[in-house]
Chains A and B, each alone.
Chain A
Amino acid sequence: GAVVSQHPSWVICKSGTSVKIECRSLDFQATTMFWYRQFPKQSLMLMATSNEGSKATYEQGVEKDKFLINHASLTLSTLTVTSAHPEDSSFYICSAKPTGVANEKLFFGSGTQLSVL
């Protein structure tokens, strides 16, 4: 099956620093990737839709200047949490669907646990 690679798996950083998370589709092309955030014991909440070659679409309440998304190729999307603060500590997961395949399930990366001190 399709594989989505996400790294790092976990990161601990100081408040005020920036953290970049990478999401790669290893054996398929993905015009669109999705970034979710999950707080403890809560469900996955969509943050933004990452579109190859164009600007990301952010969900209501998600700051686009804080969560920078770049989708530079059909297999790579990055999420940068800028000036991270403790309230940004969460589990971030990317997902992708192979381009051109209708009604296909999403494939998820392994997630990144971010802890901001």
Chain B
Amino acid sequence: GQNIDQPTEMTATEGAIVQINCTYQTSGFNGLFWYQQHAGEAPTFLSYNVLDGLEEKGRFSSFLSRSKGYSYLLLKELQMKDSASYLCAVRDPPRGNTPLVFGKGTRLSVIA
């Protein structure tokens, strides 16, 4: 089984930095995914971490600590269009053609 936990809602100011945390407990582990989802649309892939450490991709960075069962998504230079839900997900069981299991998502509101 798995348990994925992330904050329900966050608010941040345009131009600022925001960190969205995710903790997970899984029977196995084969990487952690972050997706962005705007209301009424399909999720879009942001990042995939399988090794510990920080991976940077433009304004977005993602961090993973496998020993702590912890990840975060860092969004820099926030823009209004970044207002969306951010979903943390793992593949469980961690092999082959298995589905992603999602956390409940963090709804981020970017305000002026």
List A residues at the B interface (Cβ < 8 Å).
Answer: 6, 31-32, 34, 41-46, 49, 91, 93, 95, 97, 99, 103, 105-111, 113
Pick the contact of A41: B97, B101, B107 (CB < 8 A).
B107
B97 x A44 contact (CB < 8 A): no
Tell me the bound Cα distance from A91 to B41 in angstroms.
Answer: 9
A44-B43, A91-B40, A95-B100 given; name 6 further pairs at CB < 8 Å.
A42-B105, A43-B87, A45-B102, A107-B45, A108-B42, A108-B44
CB distance from B45 to the nearest CB of A (A): 5
Question: How many contacts A-B (CB < 8 Å)?
Answer: 48
Question: Interface size (B, Cβ < 8 Å)?
Answer: 21
A111 x B41 contact (CB < 8 A): yes
A31 x B42 contact (CB < 8 A): no
Tell me the bound Cα distance from A86 to B100 in angstroms.
Answer: 27
For B105, list chain A residues within 8 Å (CB): 42-43
CB distance from B2 to the nearest CB of A (A): 11
Closest partner residue, chain B, to A101 (CB atom):
B97
Tell me the bound Cα distance from A42 to B97 in angstroms.
Answer: 24
